[in-house]
Structure 1
Amino acid sequence: MQLSDIVEDPAALLAAWPVEPIQWQHAPDHFDGLLTMGEVNEWVDSECLPLRNLELVEDGRLMERHEYQGNKGMPDPGRVRAHLAAGQTVSIRRLETAKPSVSRLARGIQELTGYDVQINAYVTPGGRQGFRYHYDPYATLILQVHGSKVWHVHPPVVENPTLEHGDFQQRGFTPEEQEHLAVTPPAASYVLDRGTAFWLPRGFIHAPIAEPGETSVHLTIAIRERTRHWVAARLATEILNLALTDPALRSVVPPVEMAAGPADVVGRMRAYLVGALLQLDPAEMAELTRRAAVRPA
């Protein structure tokens, strides 16, 4: 399966990155080649999935791994099954490292976009919720592979969040934002049935809840976009790597100068960086940046 099997017009999506949620409906068994409920049950009830690929969510928080670790550093199947029976969520992490069909999908999306891709599965008993309201610093493409889930969505409170700036894990919500979410109905709610694909741009606040009746399983394709800041960082890294090859730039700044305020060396290094940036070959740097973008993480 590739991106063209999921979204309606992949060329349009790649040309104009969507900034609003979108849904596409497919046949109920459309995503069975990626993951099925039967496979989930096999993983839950066996010791073949490494501990690093499994996370348990309890009342909106990630549990410590020692709480469900079994023999030989593997998850304890009994504890994981009991966790689900208690209505809590199980997350199978980095599924692209554990299943070939998912790996091919992740690699295909990365080659098309130049964006890093990670794919996780979330298993939530009917009528229950895993994570409370939060937002992600990347776009997500959600594939509902079993059961149904309702996604309550609010618009972003941080424009273009990234892992380095405005990430929910670092920032959380302000008291005013928490109060707003507590008393304000969602701006939109999306029902994902089996076979539904759902595009959620980065920054959108969401809180998915499994529909009553049966267990919900969905795949989250996390698409970590390359930003202009990311490109600037590649250029800066190239300049600094070249600078390390110059013995003069590896020489010591005298302590007396550093303690007094190294205005002279700051001025000279500023001039060096500006000159080095202007000397970079744009075509060569464009190719180096492209290769860095499609390189597997």
Structure 2
Amino acid sequence: MPLADLMDDVPTILENWPTRPTLHRRDPDALAALWSLDEANALVDAECLPARNVVLLKDGKLLARHTYIDADGDMPRPGAVRSHLDHGGTLSVRQLHTLKPSLARLRNEIQAETGCPVHVNAYMTPPGAQGLKYHYDPYVTLIVQLAGHKTWPLHPPFVENPTTEHGNFLERGFTAAERHYLANTPPEQAFTLEPGDVFWLPRGFVHSPYTEGDETSLHLTFALKERTFHWLAEEMTRDLLARALADPALRAEIPPARLLASPAEAIRWTREYLLGALLLEEPARMAELARRAASRVAG
């Protein structure tokens, strides 16, 4: 069980998915093989990080890519990432599993164990600095602290069960009332992570992490994009409609007047067809469909 290397009581977690922030403690030496400051610095100084994997952050803002990516768009400009770090900026290495084979294997194992698509990012933040400010994510994040200390102030979710498709912070942002609340209300919780800490942060919790102390902070985030009932409904109806093409009645044309001027009858017929088709589905077949679909995660 790959998650057991990171978390306690994994069978219970898989059965009762946690919806509250939870801190797990591991031996820092056991996590050191995941990634290290030496590896991160070696990639930065050897100019080995492809542009597609690099995002630079500072004080809650993403730097415009044209300010640090070369003219070809393939690599950061020489010295740009190191200069950013030296001036208190945060380096985010996106999709780190595409650069390190051992993380790719671990990511694939976690996907197989959970049925959730997973990506792995890294964040390197100098002492006394902050990359992202208050925001929230549309997926659960497993944060693995590898070096230094980082404090995570938390507020309860403003959006219940956000997803990439609904309530996504990148599209929604905060309302004026939410911004006022964050500016005037102390965080409900705050966790300071040290090397060896693994932090389960459910989707929607509003957070604003910053480096604590005089050491550079390095952590990994394993983003687990949870399967939802909406996802399951999409999978079921997609399969049903694909098979329904074999029925000539569903392939029959709808006369334009019936669709444009008076569509009620066509809608009624189609609704009854779909309801009937769903009711006729064998539960065992739908269960197998769900299992297969949850196993089809991004490679």
Is the structural similarity TM-score above 0.5?
yes
What is the distance in 2 between the residues matched to 1:60 and 1:48? Answer: 26
SS class of match (1:234): helix
Aligned to 1:236: 237
Aligned to 1:188: 189
SS class of match (1:119): strand
Please list the CA deviations of residues 159-191 of structure 1 after superposition, one character each: whole Å capped at 9, or x if unmatched.
111112222122211111111110111111101
What is the distance in 1 between the residues matched to 2:192 and 2:59? Answer: 22
> What amino acid does structure 2 have at the position aligned with 1:56?
L
Q: Give, in angstroms, the shift of residue 8 of structure 1.
A: 1.7
> What amino acid does structure 2 have at the position aligned with 1:18?
P
What is the distance in 2 between the residues matched to 1:237 and 1:143? Answer: 37
Assess if the C-alpha contact under 8 Å between 1:116 and 1:294 holds in 2.
Answer: no
Assess if the C-alpha contact under 8 Å between 1:44 and 1:77 holds in 2.
Answer: no
Q: Give, in angstroms, the shift of residue 245 of structure 1.
A: 4.3
Task: Assess, with a 3 A threshold, how the Cα gap between structure 1 residues 245 and 139 changes in structure 2: closer, same or farther.
Answer: same
* Worse overlay, 189-198 or 44-53: 44-53
Assess if the C-alpha contact under 8 Å between 1:45 and 1:77 holds in 2.
Answer: no
For residues 1-297 of structure 1, what are the structure 2 equivalents within 5 Å?
A: 2-70=2-70, 73-246=74-247, 248-297=249-298
Aligned-residue Cα RMSD (Å) equals 1.8
Matched pairs, number: 297
Q: Percent identity?
A: 51
Assess if the C-alpha contact under 8 Å between 2:59 and 2:129 holds in 1.
Answer: no
SS class of match (1:118): strand
Task: Assess, with a 3 A threshold, how the Cα gap between structure 1 residues 261 and 48 changes in structure 2: closer, same or farther.
Answer: farther
> What amino acid does structure 2 have at the position aligned with 1:69?
I
> What amino acid does structure 1 have at the position aligned with 2:15?
A
Show structure 1 runs of 5+ residues with no match: none
Please list the CA deviations of residues 97-139 of structure 1 after superposition, one character each: whole Å capped at 9, or x if unmatched.
2212211221222112111111110111111111111111111
Q: Give, in angstroms, the shift of residue 65 of structure 1.
A: 2.7
What is the distance in 1 between the residues matched to 2:48 and 2:291? Answer: 36
Assess if the C-alpha contact under 8 Å between 2:58 and 2:130 holds in 1.
Answer: no
SS class of match (2:49): coil
Task: Assess, with a 3 A threshold, how the Cα gap between structure 1 residues 173 and 280 changes in structure 2: closer, same or farther.
Answer: same
TM-score norm. by structure 2 comes to: 0.93
Assess if the C-alpha contact under 8 Å between 2:91 and 2:124 holds in 1.
Answer: yes
* Worse overlay, 239-248 or 163-172: 239-248
Q: Give, in angstroms, the shift of residue 219 of structure 1.
A: 0.4
Q: Give, in angstroms, the shift of residue 220 of structure 1.
A: 0.6
What is the distance in 2 between the residues matched to 1:75 and 1:291? Answer: 40
Q: Give, in angstroms, the shift of residue 70 of structure 1.
A: 2.6
What is the distance in 2 between the residues matched to 1:71 and 1:208? Answer: 32
What is the distance in 1 between the residues matched to 2:70 and 2:270? Answer: 54
What is the distance in 2 between the residues matched to 1:148 and 1:59? Answer: 17
SS class of match (1:165): coil
Q: Give, in angstroms, the shift of residue 208 of structure 1.
A: 0.4
SS class of match (1:140): strand
> What amino acid does structure 1 have at the position aligned with 2:119?
Q
* Worse overlay, 273-282 or 210-219: 273-282
